[in-house]
């Protein structure tokens, strides 16, 4: 193999250059660059390899220009996407360099050579709980995942098994081991995210058993209907063989709004002995900002929680988190079968000649293996970038990112609602949430006004909002995603979660000015009347 020093040096130069210009990089590639990247993809495996330097040269010259080069930048507002803080980027380099397999083991004790990576992951998860002021002793089952979808799969499996055990009265029953025992499990939700529906499909619950119990006013679960369902399932199980658990949104994906009646739902779940999962992929981090604490309360009432670190914690893709109050339940689903011994190669061999363990070693050996708490057997050391980021930023650093992002979103919303942008735009979530006259969090849901001066963008056209999304995104100066309003008509979403957004950067135009210039420009004006 050829020397990699020059190759690594060139990659570091690329990383440094990208870091310095990401604020001005186009949010998406041009169509020409995309077509070029597609056209040069090899159709067969080369008989003789190009070598490392030539292979990377090919990728840099042909593939990289076709990527969404500004996706980690300050004006990429799609998919609630965070960027990558410098410490997390460096931590990700280290993760690749040392290439640890954080598989641990299927036994109660991890392999000694993996003690440090297991301890770093566990401590990182503890630090996230600490950041969010959540009780670590309650959420003893915790694991890093590939993202919110994987975390919601864990949640669906835990809720599924808990529901069947409770309904059948058999605390030892395991759906993972013995199947559903003729039971239908429903997931009763408040505006479920698509990943919840996918997760229900993957764990055998079925997409049709995900039931949106949203109230008519769009503000949380319909409590009367929820109790009616839970009561019916509890009293007629022997006849109908149906049971359920509950999933709530903590930062709904289209509006950023929170389920307002979590405490009451918790009471109902306690009354009927029902599992409560909260999908808090990005909304949980509102708890970092003191001024948002009143809308981000009651997360601790959940039995399990989904989070995404590659959103507001601004670490590289992919990194999700899952917390649960039941270590035994999670182990019974994702651990080895109790009816068969685990593979020998996944079980540390006892060492009778090992010296006595120190307290620190004993504690590290006692950490539950990620292999028996999650989906993957082989696991990337994805804790390290997050660990580095938390050490670098601390509580105050993350609180600043959240507060600044929310302030930016609210400033955009005001510009559209009562400022110069009200000439063309209507904000759909500024009067529906918990904060009077503001959007609740970091999401602005909007569309063109009904009497829009450019008729093709008007919402009475079925493709009006889609046309406006395309016009905005083709500027390559900002990026938004399509959505839908409560009336079923098309809408547009700006989701602000990048650590750079709103920061003053030398030699660059202010992000707010760039955004308002784009929003004015697509309406046929370039007056530059940014205010608010």
Cα–Cα dist 447/428, whole Å: 8
- The model scores a pTM over 0.85: yes
DSSP designation for 490 = E
pLDDT of residue 108: 54
Q: What percent of the chain has pLDDT over 70?
A: 96
> How many alpha carbons lie under 13 Å from residue 144 in its C-beta half-sphere?
30
Q: Is the model's pLDDT at 528 over the cut of 80?
A: no
Contact 398, 131 (CB under 8 A): yes
Domains of the chain, start order = 124-340 (3.40.640.10), 386-521 (3.90.1150.170)
The three-state secondary structure class of 79 is coil
Q: Is the model's pLDDT at 169 over the cut of 60?
A: yes
Distance of CA 497 to the CA centre of its chain: 11
Angle between helices 383-417 and 511-521 (to 10 degrees): 50
DSSP designation for 195 = H
410-445 pLDDT, tens digit per residue, is: 999 999 999 999 999 999 999 888 888 999 999 999
Strand order across the 490-495 sheet: 425-427, 443-448, 490-495, 481-484
Average pLDDT, the chain: 93
17-48 pLDDT, tens digit per residue, is: 999 999 999 999 999 999 999 999 999 999 99
Q: Is the model's pLDDT at 525 over the cut of 80?
A: no
Cα–Cα dist 284/139, whole Å: 15
CA nearest neighbour of 519 among 430, 461, 454, 463: 454
Instruction: Determine the straight-line distance between the first and last CA of the chain, rounded to whole angstroms.
Output: 59
226-273 pLDDT, tens digit per residue, is: 999 999 999 999 999 999 999 999 999 999 999 889 999 999 999 999
The three-state secondary structure class of 390 is helix
Distance (Å) of CA 516 to CA 52, 230, 378, 416, 522: 44, 48, 46, 9, 10
pLDDT classification of 357: cutoffs 50, 70, 90: confident
DSSP designation for 339 = T
């Amino acid at each position: 193999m050829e020397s990699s020093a020059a190759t690594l040096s060139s990659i570091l130069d690329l990383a440094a250059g990208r870091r310095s210009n990401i604020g001005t990089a186009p949010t998406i590639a041009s169509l020409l660059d995309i077509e070029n990247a597609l056209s040069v993809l090899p159709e067969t495996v080369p008989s003789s390899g190009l070598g490392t330097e030539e292979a990377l040269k090919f990728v840099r010259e042909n593939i990289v220009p076709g990527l969404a080069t500004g996706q980690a930048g300050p004006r990429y507002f799609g998919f609630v996407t965070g960027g990558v803080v410098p410490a997390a980027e460096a931590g990700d380099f280290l993760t690749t360099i040392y290439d640890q397999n954080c598989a641990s083991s299927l036994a109660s004790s991890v392999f000694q050579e993996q003690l440090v990576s297991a301890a770093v992951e566990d401590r990182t998860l503890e630090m996230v709980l600490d950041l969010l002021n959540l009780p670590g002793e309650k959420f003893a089952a915790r694991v890093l995942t590939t993202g919110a979808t994987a975390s919601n799969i864990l949640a669906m499996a835990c809720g599924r098994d808990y529901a069947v055990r409770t309904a059948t009265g058999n605390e030892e029953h395991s759906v993972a081991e013995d199947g559903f025992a003729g039971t239908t499990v429903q997931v009763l939700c408040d505006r479920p995210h698509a990943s919840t529906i996918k997760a229900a499909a993957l764990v055998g619950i079925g997409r049709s058993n995900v039931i949106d119990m949203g109230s008519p006013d769009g503000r949380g679960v319909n409590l009367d209907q929820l109790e009616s369902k839970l009561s019916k399932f509890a009293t007629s199980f022997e006849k109908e063989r149906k049971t359920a658990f509950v999933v709530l949104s903590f930062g709904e994906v289209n509006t950023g709004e929170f389920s307002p009646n979590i405490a009451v739902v918790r009471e109902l779940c306690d009354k009927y002995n029902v599992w409560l999962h909260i999908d808090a992929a990005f909304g949980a981090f509102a708890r970092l900002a003191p001024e948002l604490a009143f809308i981000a309360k009651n997360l601790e009432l959940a039995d399990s929680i989904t989070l995404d670190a590659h959103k507001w914690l601004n670490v590289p893709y992919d990194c999700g988190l899952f917390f649960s109050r039941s270590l035994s339940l999670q182990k019974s689903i994702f651990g080895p079968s109790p009816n068969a011994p685990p593979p020998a190669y996944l079980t540390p061999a006892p060492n009778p000649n090992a010296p006595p363990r120190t307290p620190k070693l004993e504690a590290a050996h006692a950490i539950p293996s990620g292999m028996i708490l999650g989906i993957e057997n082989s696991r990337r050391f994805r804790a390290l970038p997050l660990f580095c980021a938390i050490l670098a930023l601390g509580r105050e650093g993350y609180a600043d990112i959240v507060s600044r992002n929310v302030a930016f979103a609210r400033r955009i919303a005001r510009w559209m609602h009562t400022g110069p942008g009200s000439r063309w735009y209507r904000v759909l979530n500024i009067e529906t949430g918990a904060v009077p006259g503001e959007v609740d969090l970091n999401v602005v849901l909007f569309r063109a006004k009904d009497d829009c001066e450019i008729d093709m963008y008007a919402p009475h056209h079925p493709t009006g909002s889609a046309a406006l999304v395309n016009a905005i995104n083709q500027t390559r100066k900002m990026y938004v995603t399509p959505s839908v309003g409560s009336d079923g008509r098309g809408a547009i979403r700006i989701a602000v979660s990048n650590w750079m957004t709103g920061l003053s950067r030398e030699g660059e135009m202010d992000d707010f000015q760039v955004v308002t210039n784009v929003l004015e420009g697509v309406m046929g004006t370039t007056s530059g009347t940014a205010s608010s």
